[in-house]
Each structure stands twice: as structure tokens, then as C-alpha cells.
Structure 1
């Protein structure tokens, strides 16, 4: 779900489209994150039952089921001079696979997305003649098992929620690894060749336990020596880091981890012991370095560190992100094993986000290139470069853009009850609501523009419609308050007849993929305004670009590479650079109060949060000032204002704007996930296309 899940969906599409043998492994959740409703301006979360209507394409394979063990008591004992594992009284959960075919584009390649469902162990399915106590225990067991695959992303603000996340992560990791090894053995290939034949890719830290689970299978079940198993594991595992945000770099308290996964903890502890022996040989007497490189530190297990130590490759997902990993987040590990680190800039499947979402633009590209080869090989979109200067192409592109704005306007009128001007500039920010993504800066600036428009009727020179969309985590108070503010401002502006012919604000309820297919083709301006250094890559920026929107953004994530592709003439960049942000964090010299006291624009809009203009938003006022504006919203406010003015200036130049839109489309092929997957296949997985007749 969200960016990580959408990226994975793009990747498995590209794997199949390029005839690469690659499969996905996940959980078959009953409920998604939530269905978002806006009630009285507030986000309300309703259950989102993904399985309510069934799913025709999945295929249950109970004969491929595996057992996953939790709890119990695990220890080693000596038998005939050898150590053997004893795991007493585990709670056994049956993992049943549901397979979903992933079909290559106009091709015979069919890969698989394997979704694991938690079910009661075979031995517990019959109550028989049991005592009341035994029946109660089995009901508790059934409740535990069924809870594992019930909810996507349990609330991690509670102990129970965090424990359930760990249970989910080990459940699908163990099921997946066991399934992979079992399938490999059926081919008759030598287990010692496993690392040369199989690659297991850890997509962020959620599957990091693959390292320990593969070791468990190889040592406990296949009876390999530790040394042989470790060599195979490191040859097999690769890791992609998707974020530097601390809350996403998963850690687990040993006190919770060890009772839940006793054997896995034993293995991680031994991995760490041997790893630190090597570290001490490399850095004799440097205990500070030992702590920095330790997988288990101060009673906490670090999943990112386990992923780095247990694999042969570590990659970031944009050039700037990878450099930050190397210089800051994983700096000690980069110093220790620099050859592991590499970059693979993210991408999106153009077959969904251009061809599926924008058939009119697809037809124009087909006609212009005189070929559909770009459907499979998006780098051929480079052939559009000459058409950037073609007046007929630009005219057609602008006609398509207006057509798509009309389509989005119809959707908004039907769902929000607000009539939009399809000739207005559609300025759009759609993504998860989070402080570092700075939707708050966006709406504060709209408040500033609204006040200026009320004071000066000539201030607004071009009608603009501002769109927001995205969900806030149920327990993320500031994000939910930001949604409430957006809707309060929207309600005020959209009802104000003195300005609502020149500006409107829309919050798109329950934003997701299907609505995204309406939104991205309609956008004129792509808001990519995260605090520099915080967004690993972003993929919404690529979806907008591919459909001809101009990027208004900071030098963060893939924005940097979009700018490199199209040039400053065809994007608008503003704000602090990553190194400036990190310098402020390091020195602690930034003061939000200084910005408030010295910047009249900032002071004016912040006062509106507490003077009743839009209601009571003291929470956001205090967040920005008392908590010292963690993501530099106030510091970047003036630069953002200037950048938006520059965008408006360019929009008035219709010929230049059409050229910019064409330029963004023409240079977007390199941001297809096909290119990303080809790089993974070549540099990390060492796999080649297989042509199936």
C-alpha cells in the first residue's frame, strides 16, 4: 500500500514485460489501510475490505502450504557429538499461498505474485472431544492466526500493534523463504549453488528477517555448516533502502523480539557476534565503531543493519538518496563495505501511468514516433525530442491536457460538489500526508495568496485550482490537523465570490491508484516540495512528468534527476539544499521564532491559525513555533512564494508552457521502471530475459 506497494507493482509489471524471471512475495491482507472519508473537514477512517468481492485471478494452492513457528522455547543440545536445535512448544501457523499471475505485455511470460494467507494448523481444525479449557485455548489460537493477515500496517503506536507488525513480517518472510528453498530443491540442483541461482531482494526493512530465516533453513533443516550457510545467504540477499526517515528504519526491542521468535533471535545474535569479531579486527580498540556497526545495540535489533550485513548489495533509490545513505544514514557501513553500495533510481510503469491513464497522449506519441515499440522499450520516447519544437505536436498536447482537465473537473463536481474551470491552472499535490512532504507549507501559502487576493483584485492574474489528496496515518495528529486545515481553507475560498472565479481549493477524498489515473494526466503543476534530504525518490513526480506537468519542487529525491533531464527552463526549483538542511540539524542554529519575527508573510499566515480566520488551529501554530519547525516550512516560505510566482509567469507564456510540457513528456522514458528493473537485473541479480515460445 502507498508508495512502496505501488513501486513493487510497477516492478513486477516491468519484470514480466522484459521477460525476466522474477516473482513477488507478500501477504494476502483482508483489509487495506482504510477507506478515507472527509466528514466536517476531518479525516474519518472506515474499513477497506479488499476481499469483500473476491478476486477472480488468485489461485489457492493448499498443497504448497508451509508451517511458520512462533513463540516456544528454542535451544541447542548435543547429540552424537553434534549440536542440534530443539524448539519446544511453538505456536504453529499454516501459511497457504494464493498465486496471482503477472503477465508480460503482449508476451508469453507469466511470473507470479505469491500472497500468503494465515490459517489454523491442520492439527487444530477438529475440536473433537475436548475440555472447555482446551476449546478456549484453540479459540484463542484461531483468533491469533486469523489476526495475522487481517490488517495491512497495524497501528505501531501501541505494543500490540508493533508486535503484530513483527509477526506479519516474519510470517511472510518464513513462508516465502521456505517456499523458495523447497522449489529450488525440487529442481535437483545442488544446495551449495543456491546463491548463484537464486536472488532474494529485501524491499525496505519489512522483509529484513529473510537474512536470519534463510540461515535457519540452511543450518537447521539442510544441515549446512554455519560458514557455508552464511556464504550462501550473503550471495543470495540484496537490500534496497527506501527512506532515511527514522520511523521507517525498523528496530525491535529484544524483550519483545526474543520470546516471539526465539530461534531467529539466536541466529541474529550469532550473526552479530561473528560480525563484530570482524569489526574489532578491522578497528582494534574502537568500541564506538563497534557500536555503530552492531546489529543489536542497547537491547534493540536494527533491521537496516541486519539487511546490510546479511547481503551482497545495498542500494538507494535516487542519486541524492544514495549519497545521503553513504554520507550519513549508513555511513559507517559504507566505510566498512563500500563495494556493496550502489544506486538504482526508481521508476514507474509507463504502461499504466501513461498508456493506461492517458490513451489520447499515447496515441499522439504512437503517431509521432511512427511506432509502438516504445510500449515495451520506453527509452525510445527519446525520439520525441525533435517534436518539442513542433508546433502541431505542442498544440495537440495542450488539447489533450485540457481534455484531461475536463475529465477531472467532472469527477470533482460529482464527488465534491464544486464546479471547476478547466482552463484554470491545475496545481496538484497528491501523496501521503506527512510533515516532511510539507502539505502544510502548500496550504499556508494558499492562505497567503487568498489574503493578498482579497486586498488587491489585480493580484491574481490567472485562475488556479489547487488540489490535495492523500491519507494521514490514523495516529498521526499533525497530519490529520493538516487535512482539517486544508478543508477549512477550501470551504472558505470556494464560497467567497470575490475570488472563487480565480482560485479554488480541492481535497480529493480517498486518493488511490484509480483516482490517480484521472489526476496525473490533468495536472499542469506537480508539487514535489518535501524538505530536501527527506524524500528518498518519489514516484508521483515521474507520473506527473510523464503526462506533461512541470515540476515545482526542492532538490530532493528524483527531482534532482528530473531537473538534470529537462533543465532549469522546464522545471522550477526552490528552497534549502540537502546539505544546508543537514547542517541546520547538526548545528541546531535554526530558529522558527526568528522566521516568525522577521518575516511578515510568515507571521501573517501563522496568526491566522489562532485568530479564528479558519477556526482553531493552535496545534499547527505550536507545532511550527514551539516545536521549531522540524521540516523548515517557514524557512522555505519566501522561496516557495517566489517559485510559485515564477510558475505563474511561465504559464502565461502559452507557447513556452506547451514547450515545457512537451519537454517533460519527451524526457520521461528514462523514468520508466523498465529501466530500473533492467539495472537491477544487470548489476544486482545477474539475470537475463528468457524468451518463452
Structure 2
């Protein structure tokens, strides 16, 4: 809610809160017509479905506002500590159903709209997905925001209000095509513009030092960050927190002198540069211009957020030195790492603290979540670029680096190579600023997101920094919000679990364990199977509508939905699909299990091999789906433009969840949790949170295959030769030969030669190495499927035992062990 300046805090506590709006269906209906008339300017007799959608959102928003204000005032009254979650992504999805569910207004709104002759389910589908993220990182941030509100943790989320987000994916002739995502085309009725919360953000320029060593940065160009707030409603409306997103605006929207001189395009230069800052998520960074825009974006939102945090702190508390006691700043991955240097700049240059005090405050305030072991995702920026854009921050990075390296030298236990690995500046090749090391050095807590990932952090990317600061790394295994990922997407299964538990399982997902006692009950299995079938019928209808592929709900729905990346191994999946296709045709006499192999996900615009894998999936689908010999036994489909709303249909329909990343490369995963919570069996490697899922679900209820993380590392270190493995596997050799010789690409026979050649020559992601184990695991899955009672019992146990993987549990651990914020 709008922050209360210090001069009004005391008086505002005595002012009455707004009267909560009625939830009576008749009152809701009247309010909807009122908003339609006076806010949208439409007569109900000519209103479009989009008009009704906007009116309903505005009525729901009104019911949120009073609780939003109450939550804000209560935090001020208690002088409580707040959590600030900085993330470049927030994949929040559609909010209308989320708000209705958490406020307990679904039935009342259904009745109110029924009186008006409006179909709630129909208009709900019209709400656009907010294009504020891409994959698991953004969806985790959204789950965390909802859980923080649900468990009563005062919090702000901070990010960028992307006008076009990542991109809207179309598949044209099998190839991914990137189009602008226009989710804001008709405005966003959920958000509140906060023009009073605006901050100047500078780039470039020079730094002057006076006789007292005080530094003054004079930027060469300045933009304004303008705030837009969206309320995030917790379960049962317990608390409403704020998602604050920044839009970049020029200081001078038009250079009037240039315009009057006839340079009409040049006159808009500053507006265009500002617009680029909040236009797109993850601009391609292969070019220097792309790298510069990416760094500008990261600094833009980090600086605006930190200025806002300090302004809020000083509006209520007298001393900047108490910031760590009242603010917990969590960096969600490495993107906001520049915030470490920015907080130091603000504390020293704006608030007059010396380096030692500013460094102490920074470390005690900031914590860092690492989400990947991939070096490219840890981010590093060329020193010349960093210094040109952020000259004062480059000085601060050097100061921090000197402090860290001197501490390491003083121990007398590190050699030169280890010192070099700890450095914030990578001296190998072109000098680069290591943002992961900066985030580590400037945080009191560095957490991984699964047990395996946390241990690998200690052994690999942060090995030497961990030796220097052995108490900083800790684990916080990810979770998902059960409100969206069970109650909303699978209401029939939720009802079944709630009836078994006899309690509010949305407040305590551990109560789902009550389903465990029903796993072998015939009637419960029949009910569960009917629920799954209805979900599959819905997905089959959507698949027919979007890509023209007809699926029978009697088939096993085998689904892999996630960002397209070689380490996630969609390639392993589709190569095994080709092998299965060959086997079905060669041995029609065998009892084959009918399968629908479904994929969805976006490839980064500049990631050639990922886009080629999407094309391969489409090419295989064309051949397989048109072959009469396999038509009833195997179908392949790629659903375009994967987003939260598509996941909400695919997740509850899945029989089998593909979690087959190269071991040691997936930090956690949250899709694995969503699928299992909805009663899908997992086929996966011992990677990420799969390890802990196996512990909670039981090894007998999950299908694990392939190399472990240690075995992958050993193979790479020992010079593994994939050609020998391929030669020893006739099924794999036949499948690879068919792909690379153009069987699935007769229009361009050499299309996949280099892709498959990479498997034959290096196989960094262990596709060939794990192929036979994966194929055998799939035949194990077939064997379980042939015994429906066994399958249903395992699926029910998967759902029943997922209580640990609620994001409520994760957030309580963050609150207790990192943020020191007690709900």
C-alpha cells in the first residue's frame, strides 16, 4: 500500500481504516455494474467480456485494499522488520482467481455474475498472464510472495514492469519465432501507479574526490524510476503484501530544441533510451549493446529498490545504522548483485558513513540466493563496460575486493590460485567483474535451493569463498504454493485430500498425508483416476485446439515442460522417443503402452541448439503422428508459448513428469514438485530437489535413473568418449543415425548433423551416457502402468507426501534462519 511519510505515521494510526466491502453476492453484483458504468463507461447491455473482466477485477481489488492498508499500518505500528525480495522475474500469472480464492469469494462471485448473466470461467480465461518472467526463477518468486503474505511476513517484492516481457512464442514451420508480448495493451487493472515514489537513476559520468576523501558521482545521463504497486493477497486474506515494479521514464520526455530544429526522431532519443530499460526481459547479450542494456536494467531496478528501502526506513526510524534490524534484503539470484555496490554507495556517498560501517551494514542487511552452478548464469561483466556505466561502483568493487583478498591473505592458508578464484575481478583473458563473487562477499547468508545444490556450491563455484567464510552457505529447499498449484488447478483432488484430512490443508500441506492411508483403497483409486481423466480430457481438448494433435485420455500423458536448455535434456527425451518409435514399428506384436509425449517451453532467442531442439521435436511429431502403424500408440506434441496458465492445465493432467536434467546441473526445480503434488509419477535423475523428493515420497514411488552428480564430474574429468557408448547401444545408434541423416528432416537432410555430432564427439550433458538407463527406466514405467492399481497407489502417495515442498515451509525457514523476521 502507499507508504506513509514520517510526518504522518503517528496521526495515521489514529485515523479509521476504510470499511471493508461486503461479500454478499447481491452487493458484489451491484458493485460490478457500478464499476462497469462509472469506471469503464459502459452500459451493461453492450459490455464486452473484457469489460466484465475489468469490472470484476476492480471489485475484487476494492476488497483487497482495506486489508492492504491494514497490513501496512500494522507493520508500522509494530515497528516491524520488513523483507525486501529483489528479483528480475516475477511470473505471477493471472491474479483474478488467485485473489478470489485467497479471499474466499469464489462462490459469491460466481453467484453474483450468474445474476448478471456472465460466465466467470469464460471471463477468467481472458485475463492476460503478466509477462514478468520466463521460468522457474520467476515462478518461485511469485510463490514466495504469495507465501510471505500467507504466513504473515511483511514483504515487498521489487522488479521491473516489463512492457513486453520475455517474448510471445510462436511456432512457424516448426521453428520458434519471437513476437512481442502485449500483456499491457489494455492496461493492468490490478496495479496502482505511485508517482510520488520515483527515483533518479544515473549512468556514466565521472567521480570527483574532495580533500576529505568524499566521493561525488556526477552521472552523464539520468532516468527516473516510477513505481507501480500490485497487491499480493495471502491465504484467507491474512495479509496483503506489495509487489512494486519499476518503469523507466526520461527526465526530459522530448528534447524540444532538437524537435523545433526539425530532428523529430533525435528529439525522442532520451524517451527511447528510457523505454528500452523496462521494455524486454533478458535482452540478448551476445552483442556489446545487449550486454550494456542487461547491466543497465539490473542496476536500474536495484538502485530504485534500494533508494526506496532506505527512504522507507528513514521515514520511520531515525538512524540509517539500524537498517539491518528493520530490513532484510534478499537477492534472488545474481541479477541484483550490483545492489551490493549500490547500497555501499548510498551509505557512504549519500548518508556519510565510512567504508567499514557501510560494509558492516551491507553484509548484515543483504542475503543472496544462488539458483545455478552454470558459470554463464553467475554473470560477469567486462571491466571497461562496468566502469563506463558505473564508475563509482567500479571503485567500490575494487575496495570490497581489496578487503576480501586481504582477509584471505591474512589467514595464511590460501595459495595464489585460491586467492585468484575468490577475487571479484576475473583476470583470465579480458578482465571481468564476477557478480556471483560480489553477491557472496556482500551477504551474510548465501543459500542454495536444494540439499544437493547447496553441497555442490561449496565444492564448485564458491569453493574458495566458502573456505574463507565457512558459516555463510546454507540450504533452503524450494517449495510451491499449494493454493495455486493444488487448490486452484486441481479442485477435485483438493476436495478429495481435504475430505480425507478433515482440516484446512491449505494452511498446513502436511495434512495431505491423510491421503496416504487411502492409497490402496479401491474406491479412492477409482475417484483419483476419474479426477486425473477429467484433467487429461481438458488438456486433450486444448492440445487439439492449439496444435491439431488428437490425444486419447487413455494414453499415458508423459510431459516435459520447462525452459529449453541442453542441460534439461529435452534432447534425451526426444531421442528416446525416436528409439521408441522404431521399436514399436519393428515389434508390433509387443504389448506397448500408448503414450502422449508432450513438450512446452521457450528457448532463449540467441540459443541456437535450444531452438534446433524445438524444431527437432516438431519434425519428429510430424512423422510419428502421421504414421498409421503407431498412431494409437505414440503421439508427440509441442505446445507453444508456455506460461503459467498453460502449466495450470498441463500439470494436473500429467501421468508422468520428466525431470531428467544432467545430474549436478539443476539447482532444484519446482515443476517436479507441482507435478508430484498433483499425482504424477516422476522419472528423473538424482538432481536438484529430486533427491529430497525421493526421500519424502519413498524410493519405491519414484523412478530414478542415470549418472549421479559425482559420476558426471568423474566422466568429464577422465575424458569420457561418447562414441564408445553409442556404438554399444544399438537403439541409440539407430535413433541418432535416423536423426542426423534426415529421416525426420527430408527437406534439409543435414539439419541435425551438427547437433548429433556434438553428442558423438563430446556429449557434455551426458545424453548418450544416460540413454540406456533412461530407456530402461521408461520400460519400468510401462510395467507399472500395466497394473492400474499399483500406478494409482503410487500416484496417490506422491500427492500425499508432498507437504514438505510447500513454499510456506520454505518461507518460514527463510524468516527464522536468514531474515530474523517472526510472523
**TM superposition score category, shorter chain reference:** over 0.9
Q: Are 2:818 and 1:681 equivalent residues in the alignment?
A: no
Match of 1:386 among 513, 517, 531: 517
State the SS of the aligned residue for 1:44.
Answer: strand
Match of 1:612 among 727, 742, 747: 742
Which residue is 2:756 aligned to? 621
Q: Is residue 453–residue 460 contact of structure 1 (8 Å, CA) maintained in 2? A: no
TM-score, normalised by the number of residues in structure 2 = 0.81
Q: Residues 113, 400 of structure 1: CA spacing in aligned structure 2 closer, same or farther, 3 A cutoff?
A: same
Output the CA distance in 2 between the equivalents of 1:591 and 1:509. 36
Output the CA distance in 1 between the equivalents of 2:650 and 2:253. 49
Output the CA distance in 1 between the equivalents of 2:737 and 2:249. 55
State the SS of the aligned residue for 2:213.
Answer: strand
Please show how residues 124-273 of structure 1 align to structure 2 within 5 Å.
Answer: 127=256, 132=261, 139-273=268-402
Output the CA distance in 2 between the equivalents of 1:346 and 1:524. 23
Output the CA distance in 2 between the equivalents of 1:349 and 1:183. 29
Output the CA distance in 1 between the equivalents of 2:727 and 2:233. 59
Deviation at 1:137, TM superposition (A): 6.3
Q: Is residue 67–residue 95 contact of structure 1 (8 Å, CA) maintained in 2? A: yes
Output the CA distance in 2 between the equivalents of 1:318 and 1:569. 21
Q: Residues 645, 75 of structure 1: CA spacing in aligned structure 2 closer, same or farther, 3 A cutoff?
A: same
State the SS of the aligned residue for 2:335.
Answer: coil
Output the CA distance in 1 between the equivalents of 2:257 and 2:569. 58
| Cα deviations by residue, 1:278-304 (Å, 9 ceiling, x for unpaired) | 111113673222111111121210011
| Cα deviations by residue, 1:533-556 (Å, 9 ceiling, x for unpaired) | 000001110010000000100000
Q: Are 2:631 and 1:497 equivalent residues in the alignment?
A: no
Q: Is residue 254–residue 271 contact of structure 2 (8 Å, CA) maintained in 1? A: no
Output the CA distance in 2 between the equivalents of 1:340 and 1:134. 55
State the SS of the aligned residue for 2:143.
Answer: helix
Q: Residues 291, 409 of structure 1: CA spacing in aligned structure 2 closer, same or farther, 3 A cutoff?
A: same
Which residue is 2:612 aligned to? 481
Output the CA distance in 2 between the equivalents of 1:682 and 1:106. 23
| Cα deviations by residue, 1:228-280 (Å, 9 ceiling, x for unpaired) | 11111000000000000111010001011101011111111111112211111
Q: Are 2:441 and 1:312 equivalent residues in the alignment?
A: no
Q: Are 2:773 and 1:644 equivalent residues in the alignment?
A: no
Output the CA distance in 1 between the equivalents of 2:136 and 2:740. 34
| Cα deviations by residue, 1:430-487 (Å, 9 ceiling, x for unpaired) | 1111111111111111111111111111235221111111111111111111111111
State the SS of the aligned residue for 2:364.
Answer: helix
Please show how residues 573-588 of structure 1 align to structure 2 within 5 Å.
Answer: 573-587=704-718
Q: Is residue 426–residue 524 contact of structure 1 (8 Å, CA) maintained in 2? A: yes
Match of 1:49 among 182, 194, 215: 182
Q: Are 2:248 and 1:118 equivalent residues in the alignment?
A: yes
Match of 1:370 among 502, 515, 529: 502
Deviation at 1:167, TM superposition (A): 0.1
| Cα deviations by residue, 1:551-583 (Å, 9 ceiling, x for unpaired) | 100000011111111122111000001000011
Q: Is residue 202–residue 219 contact of structure 2 (8 Å, CA) maintained in 1? A: no
Which residue is 2:207 aligned to? 74
Which residue is 1:518 aligned to? 649
Which residue is 1:661 aligned to? 795
Please show how residues 535-574 of structure 1 align to structure 2 within 5 Å.
Answer: 535-574=666-705
Range with bigger deviation, 609-618 or 667-676: 609-618
Output the CA distance in 1 between the equivalents of 2:464 and 2:189. 48
Q: Is residue 254–residue 267 contact of structure 2 (8 Å, CA) maintained in 1? A: no
Output the CA distance in 2 between the equivalents of 1:190 and 1:481. 56
Range with bigger deviation, 390-399 or 334-343: 390-399
Deviation at 1:382, TM superposition (A): 2.5
| Cα deviations by residue, 1:338-358 (Å, 9 ceiling, x for unpaired) | 111100001111111111100
Report which structure shows greater RCO (CA 8 Å, sep ≥6).
1
Output the CA distance in 2 between the equivalents of 1:460 and 1:624. 31
Deviation at 1:135, TM superposition (A): 7.8
Q: Are 2:173 and 1:64 equivalent residues in the alignment?
A: no
Match of 1:599 among 729, 737, 746: 729
Deviation at 1:384, TM superposition (A): 2.7
Q: Residues 466, 316 of structure 1: CA spacing in aligned structure 2 closer, same or farther, 3 A cutoff?
A: same
Match of 2:215 among 85, 93, 102: 85
Deviation at 1:175, TM superposition (A): 0.2
Q: Is residue 150–residue 238 contact of structure 2 (8 Å, CA) maintained in 1? A: no
Q: Is residue 76–residue 86 contact of structure 1 (8 Å, CA) maintained in 2? A: yes
| Cα deviations by residue, 1:605-644 (Å, 9 ceiling, x for unpaired) | 1111232211132132222123x11101001111011000
Output the CA distance in 2 between the equivalents of 1:89 and 1:662. 60
Output the CA distance in 2 between the equivalents of 1:534 and 1:258. 32
Output the CA distance in 1 between the equivalents of 2:265 and 2:147. 48
Deviation at 1:503, TM superposition (A): 1.0
Q: Residues 460, 53 of structure 1: CA spacing in aligned structure 2 closer, same or farther, 3 A cutoff?
A: farther
Q: Residues 608, 225 of structure 1: CA spacing in aligned structure 2 closer, same or farther, 3 A cutoff?
A: same
Deviation at 1:597, TM superposition (A): 2.4
Q: Are 2:457 and 1:325 equivalent residues in the alignment?
A: yes
Q: Residues 129, 510 of structure 1: CA spacing in aligned structure 2 closer, same or farther, 3 A cutoff?
A: closer
Which residue is 1:274 aligned to? 403
Deviation at 1:163, TM superposition (A): 0.8
Range with bigger deviation, 611-620 or 22-31: 611-620
State the SS of the aligned residue for 1:466.
Answer: strand
Output the CA distance in 2 between the equivalents of 1:657 and 1:670. 22
Q: Is residue 41–residue 484 contact of structure 1 (8 Å, CA) maintained in 2? A: yes
State the SS of the aligned residue for 1:448.
Answer: helix
Range with bigger deviation, 515-524 or 139-148: 139-148
| Cα deviations by residue, 1:632-685 (Å, 9 ceiling, x for unpaired) | 100111101100000000011111111101100001111111111111001000
Which residue is 2:148 aligned to? 15
| Cα deviations by residue, 1:56-77 (Å, 9 ceiling, x for unpaired) | 0111111110111101011322
Please show how residues 331-350 of structure 1 align to structure 2 within 5 Å.
Answer: 331-350=463-482
Output the CA distance in 2 between the equivalents of 1:124 and 1:648. 63
Q: Is residue 258–residue 264 contact of structure 2 (8 Å, CA) maintained in 1? A: no
Spell out structure 1 runs of 4+ moving beyond 4 A: 123-126, 128-131, 133-138
| Cα deviations by residue, 1:117-147 (Å, 9 ceiling, x for unpaired) | 00011x5667369874998765322221111
Output the CA distance in 2 between the equivalents of 1:347 and 1:283. 41
Output the CA distance in 2 between the equivalents of 1:339 and 1:39. 51
Which residue is 1:301 aligned to? 433
Output the CA distance in 2 between the equivalents of 1:307 and 1:621. 38
| Cα deviations by residue, 1:289-336 (Å, 9 ceiling, x for unpaired) | 211111112121001101111010011000000010011121111111
Q: Is residue 29–residue 50 contact of structure 1 (8 Å, CA) maintained in 2? A: no
- Over the aligned positions, Cα root-mean-square deviation in angstroms equals 1.6
| Cα deviations by residue, 1:155-197 (Å, 9 ceiling, x for unpaired) | 0111111110000000000000000000000003422111121
Q: Is residue 552–residue 643 contact of structure 1 (8 Å, CA) maintained in 2? A: yes
Output the CA distance in 1 between the equivalents of 2:460 and 2:258. 61
Q: Residues 301, 295 of structure 1: CA spacing in aligned structure 2 closer, same or farther, 3 A cutoff?
A: same
Q: Residues 646, 126 of structure 1: CA spacing in aligned structure 2 closer, same or farther, 3 A cutoff?
A: same
| Cα deviations by residue, 1:193-237 (Å, 9 ceiling, x for unpaired) | 111211110100000011111111111111111111111100000
Q: Is residue 559–residue 599 contact of structure 2 (8 Å, CA) maintained in 1? A: yes
Output the CA distance in 2 between the equivalents of 1:134 and 1:407. 55
Q: Is residue 127–residue 135 contact of structure 1 (8 Å, CA) maintained in 2? A: no
Range with bigger deviation, 85-94 or 272-281: 85-94
